[in-house]
Amino acid sequence: MHSTLAFHWARLVELLYSAERALELSRDEEITSKEIRNKPGNPSEGVGIIEAARGTLIHHYKLDEEGLVKKVNLIVASTNNNPAMCMSIRDAAKALIHGDKVSEGLLNMVEMAFRAYDPCLACASHFAIGQMPLEVKIYDHNKALIKKVQR
């Protein structure tokens, strides 16, 4: 599947499965037992990788001898999604910009393109769909600004 909006369908399928699986696990006496915790000895470093709604999250932690975090390296889904997100935004722009003529829906299509990969970028601005501040600058082949579209 090469459709940007297919991410939403995939998230829906994952969400439904997660809810069903969580219910199943909540009924497992072995998992809900008070004897489940395994205390580590003296860990000094740990790496975790998890699949989340936005994509793969990679966490790398280094601890001191007291068990306090001294160094953290996070590779978040936005980093992994960035190339595909840029290509989708480019494709949306190419379809809606012809010289200095810009289709009315440009800002909404650009916003839709990046929200499909990373809804958290848009949520970070605390604006509803179609209301977040957005600016598109259009340049000619000489890199001269020919138009600016914003809301």
Q: What are the tens digits of pLDDT across the range 9-31?
A: 887 888 899 999 999 999 998 88
| Number of CB atoms found within 10 A of residue 56's CB | 14
Q: How far apart are CA 121 and CA 53, in angstroms?
A: 13
What does pTM read for this prediction? 0.59
| Residue 142 banded pLDDT, cuts 50, 70, 90 | very high
Domain locations in the chain?
Answer: 41-75, 79-150
Helices (H), the chain: 6-26, 29-32, 77-96, 106-117, 119-123
Residue 33 has pLDDT above 60, yes or no: yes
* DSSP 8-state code for residue 51: E
